[in-house]
């Protein structure tokens, strides 16, 4: 299978290549794509060197699948070109997520909605993916009424520049700033730009994408998204109110038996999910499960995942695996 990776030299693109290799995805020909300044350079994949292509060169090669992680404006311009050439695009930017004509997919939840006609498929926001993986089985059983989420997000979600800023600050080096403020020894309660309603774009992504992925506009979601000086992954404190009553032991059982989730919840031994343990893992880690004692039918939990993997690259590759297995490409 011919596979293009658009944005192959970026943080997520690099992880996409790593995940394709680890999961032994049947790539017969890799077509790495990057910005004009990288065209002609080489990258290595499975011990073999591949030349970096421009978008137009890659489109002409007609790959079966193109994994995109090159930003919204590139996706808006380039994804339709690939789609017109018969390529199925799996896009990691926000460009197509809320387009009513495009599917927004987390394989564990709604891959079955995909058809061969879906030529541009949207990969959700990283913080949304890990949350809905945990929410979906609970919604099926108890029907979720409202979700209150606060996130603690890794600098890797911003990109290489932010990782450099954090490392520079830790080493006392002056350098380029990805954020307006220092990030080391600090917490920044802003991810993406502010909107007219006082929420950031990232917060509204979590609100809108959750409803679309889970196919239920009645779920009320409110979010506060925060950047913290961490590398390994995103963490979320999630408060979930249900329509129906639950037994706490049943919530534990559901989390324990849901594919893609690892339950880490042993307060007596101080075992709970942390980004340092989720780093470079594909699963969503859930713990700190406890009843909200301030109101009925409500539970609190702590959800952690590697935002570059399940939050981006792994989810995209899992979509590609589903397409291949279902003979949709």
Active site members: 126, 234
β-pairing, 144-153 vs 220-227, is parallel
Residue (of 81, 86, 92) closest to 121 by Cα position: 92
DSSP 202-257: HHHHHHHHHHHHHT-TT-EEEEEEEE-S-SS-EEEEEEEEESS---HHHHHHHHHT
Q: Given its phi and psi angles, is residue 227 left (phi above 0), alpha (psi -120 to 50 degrees) or beta?
A: beta
Q: What angle do CA 111, 72, 2 make, to 5 degrees?
A: 55
Helix (H) / strand (E) element for 28: namely none
Q: Given its phi and psi angles, is residue 63 left (phi above 0), alpha (psi -120 to 50 degrees) or beta?
A: beta
């Amino acid at each position: 299978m011919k596979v293009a990776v658009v944005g192959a030299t970026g943080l997520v693109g690099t992880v996409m290549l790593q995940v394709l290799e680890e999961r032994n995805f049947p790539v017969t020909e890799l077509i790495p794509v990057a910005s004009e300044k990288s065209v002609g350079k080489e990258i290595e994949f499975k011990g073999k060197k591949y030349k970096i292509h421009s978008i137009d060169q890659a489109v002409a090669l007609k790959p079966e699948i193109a994994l995109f992680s090159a930003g919204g404006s590139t996706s808006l311009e380039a994804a339709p070109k690939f789609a017109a050439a018969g390529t199925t695009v799996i896009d990691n930017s926000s460009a197509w997520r809320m387009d009513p004509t495009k599917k927004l997919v987390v394989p564990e939840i709604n891959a079955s909605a995909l058809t061969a006609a879906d030529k541009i498929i949207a990969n959700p926001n990283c913080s949304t993916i890990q949350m809905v993986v945990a929410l979906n089985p609970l919604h099926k059983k108890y029907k979720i009424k409202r979700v209150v989420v606060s996130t603690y997000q890794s600098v890797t979600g911003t990109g290489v520049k932010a990782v450099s800023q954090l490392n520079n600050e830790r080493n006392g080096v002056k350098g380029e700033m990805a954020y307006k403020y220092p990030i080391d020894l600090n917490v920044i309660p802003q991810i993406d730009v502010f909107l007219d309603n006082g929420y950031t774009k990232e917060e509204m992504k979590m609100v809108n994408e959750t409803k679309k992925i889970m196919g239920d506009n009645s779920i009320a979601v409110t979010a506060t998204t925060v950047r913290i000086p961490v590398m390994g992954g995103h963490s979320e404190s999630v408060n979930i109110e249900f329509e129906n009553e639950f037994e706490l032991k049943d919530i534990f059982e559901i989390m324990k038996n849901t594919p893609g989730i690892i339950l880490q919840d042993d307060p007596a031994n101080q075992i709970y999910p942390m980004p340092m343990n989720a780093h470079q893992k594909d699963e969503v880690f859930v713990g700190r499960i406890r009843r909200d004692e301030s109101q009925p039918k409500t539970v609190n939990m702590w959800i952690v995942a590697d935002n570059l993997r399940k939050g981006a690259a792994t989810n995209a590759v899992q979509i590609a695996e589903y397409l291949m297995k279902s003979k949709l490409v």
